[in-house]
Structure 1
Amino acid sequence: MKFEETTIKAFIDELASNSPAPGGGSVAALCGSLAAGLEAMVANLTLGKEKYRTSWDKMHKVLEEGEKLRAEFISLMNEDTESFNLFMQALKMPKETEEQKASRKAAMGEASKAATAVPLRTLESCVKAAELSFTAAKYGNSNAVSDAGVAALLAEAAGKAASYNVKINLPGIADEAFAKECRERMEKALAEVVKHADETAKLVEAAMI
């Protein structure tokens, strides 16, 4: 299932089924894509309007980055499901002999790394999405400020969701250096996402008073 070719209903039906994938990781990336889509929308609603001429340069950047992020998050939706499937394949490898056990363990270790790396990339992309939401809220069409606010909420939710998917995989990784690096990157990115989302929320709330 390529998610960019799937209807919303088909995706939610598959999500609700007894299949373990797609799951939370793909949903996190989907939320990120929705955030980026809203940011691009705010930019499109701002560009070309004389009232916001001084913001056009910033909105061109928001639009360009938002479109890149939207595509990146959709790719991450697919990668998350693919990495989970690789782990399940490794889990099903034969384990009758010592050699088979060693091969299975190595394959599971590599699959666990992949299953951690993908949501970590999702989380780090959410930092960019949260930053864009602030720019969209501050410089975009004031009639769409609530949309920029929703983008910030989605970016934060996506980032926190992605962090869960990193955390749950870390204990299964034997490579301590890799696990340590992932945890440090996760904590740094998560703090940045929350910071940018909070800043956007304050801006949006003030604009709607």
Structure 2
Amino acid sequence: MILHEMTLPAFVTELASNSPAPGGGSIAALGGALAAGLVSMVGELTRGREKYAAVQADMDALCAKGKKYAETLLKLIDEDTAAFNDFMAAMKLPKDTDEQKAARRAAMQEAAKSTVEVPLRTLNLCAEVAKLALVAVREGNVNAVSDAGTAGQFARAAGTCAAYNVRINLLGIKDEAYAAEKRAAMNAALSVIDAAMSDLTELMEKALS
């Protein structure tokens, strides 16, 4: 079952079931993909119009990046669920002998790192989408400024949710150096989102007043 190829009603039904996956990590990726798609729409509504000729190059880049990020984030919906399933499979490994216990612990730690890496990738992409949303608000078609702002807010929410998943999965990591490195990367991405959204929010207030 490929989650990102399901119909929307089927996906929501699967999400609402008693299965723990897809869960928050996959939904963070979905939110990021929606934000990237929406910011691309604003770019498409801007480029090619004489009124916005001065920002044509920016809009071309925005559209290309937004669509690329959306495609990657859609794949991360499935990758997040796969990482969780791999961790659960590692937990079910036999533990009758000392050798089996050691192998199980090693497999669990390796799988746990994937449950950190995937949402961290989602978070980093959401930070990039937030920056694109700021460009869309600042330079895009004024008639679509609410869409650009919505893209930014979705990117921020999705990034925050991805960070939640990074943090909870880091709790199971025994490698302290690895955990510190990933936590620093997470905080750096969140700072990028905060900076972009601070400027975006200010511009939105001016545009809608």
Q: Flag structure 1 segments of 5+ consecutive residues without an equivalent.
A: none
Question: What SS does the aligned partner of 1:161 have?
Answer: helix
Residue in 2 that maps onto 1:205: 205
Q: Structure 2 stretches of 5 or more lacking a match?
A: none
Q: Which amino acid aligns with 2:173?
A: I
Deviation per CA, 1:46-82, whole angstroms, max 9, x where unpaired? 1121111111111001000000100110111111000
Contact 2:4 2:77 in 1 (8 A): no
Aligned AA for 1:176? E
1:59 alignment partner in structure 2: 59
Aligned to 1:105: 105
Structure 1 segments (4+ residues) deviating >2 Å: none
Q: Distance in 2 between matches of 1:27 and 1:4?
A: 11
- Quote how far apart the aligned CAs of 1:200 are: 1.0
Matches within 5 A, 1:1-209: 1-209=1-209
Mapped partners of 2:122, 2:181: distance in 1: 16
- Cα RMSD after superposing both structures: 0.8
1:86–1:111: 8 Å Cα contact kept in structure 2?
A: yes
28-37 or 3-12, which moves further after superposition? 3-12
Q: Secondary structure at the match of 2:196?
A: helix
Preserved contact between residue 155 and residue 197 of structure 1 (Cα < 8 Å):
no
Distance in 1 of aligned mates of 2:101 and 2:86: 17
Aligned positions, number: 209
CA distance in 2 between partners of 1:149 and 1:198 (Å): 12
In structure 2, how many angstroms separate the alpha carbons of the residues matched to 1:145 and 1:204? 8
CA distance in 2, matches of 1:13, 1:53: 45
Q: TM-score, normalised by structure 1?
A: 0.98
2: CA distance between counterparts of 1:134 and 1:55? Answer: 14
Give the secondary-structure state (helix, strand or coil) at the position aligned to 2:151: helix
Structure 1 counterpart of 2:141, which letter?
A: N
Cα deviation digits, residues 112-165 of structure 1 (max 9, x gap) = 000001001111111100000000111110000000000010000011000000
Write the distance in 1 (CA, Å) between the matches of 2:4 and 2:188: 30
| Percentage identity across paired residues of the two chains | 51
Shift of 1:198: 2.1
Q: Secondary structure at the match of 2:148?
A: helix
How far apart, in 2, do the equivalents of 1:13 and 1:107 lie?
Answer: 31
| C-alpha contact 1:35 1:151 (8 A) present in aligned 2 | yes
